[in-house]
Amino acid sequence: MEQVQTHHNTRVEQLEGELKSAFAKRDELAEKHQQEIEKLTSERGGQLETIKQEVEAALKEIHAAELARLEETNNSKLNELKLQYTRQHDQEREAVQKEHQEALEKLKQEHEVHNKEHQEALEKLKQEHEVRNNEYAETLEKLKA
């Protein structure tokens, strides 16, 4: 169980690292594109402003799509890990339940054996008591006669 939890935590950390790396890459690309746009703008003038806005809009869309894809991939992997963890936990729980059920059945059988032995011993004692009681009654009758 701890191994699964450790694997789960490691994988989550790895996915978070990938996401941070993607954000850093996006920021780096955005900075690079911004510098290129500023360079082109300073060289060309007004018509480049329109191109700049179009490029910025396109880049924002691309970045948003890439981030959405990465987030979806990471969520999918995270959900898969959660499902694996749940399945393993359920299997372990079922194994423990089976083990407990077997132990309970064994105890019930042992109890039945002991109970039967006690009932037999009790019956024997009752019979011995009845025999002695009859002998005592006979002895009393003889003494009275």
The pLDDT tens digits for 4-53 are 788 788 888 888 888 888 888 888 988 988 888 787 767 665 676 777 88
The dihedral sign for the CA sequence 71, 74, 78, 79: positive
What single-letter DSSP state applies at residue 17?
H
Give domain status of residue 144, yes or no.
no
The dihedral sign for the CA sequence 38, 41, 46, 51: negative
> What's this model's pTM, rounded to 2 decimal places?
0.43
- Length of the chain counted residue by residue: 145
The pLDDT value given to residue 23: 87
Give domain status of residue 129, yes or no.
no
Number of domains in the chain: 1
Residue range(s) defining the domain that contains residue 66: 2-118
The pLDDT value given to residue 56: 92
Task: Give the containing element (helix H, strand E) for 45.
Answer: none
| Per-residue pLDDT tens digits for 116-125 | 999 999 999 9
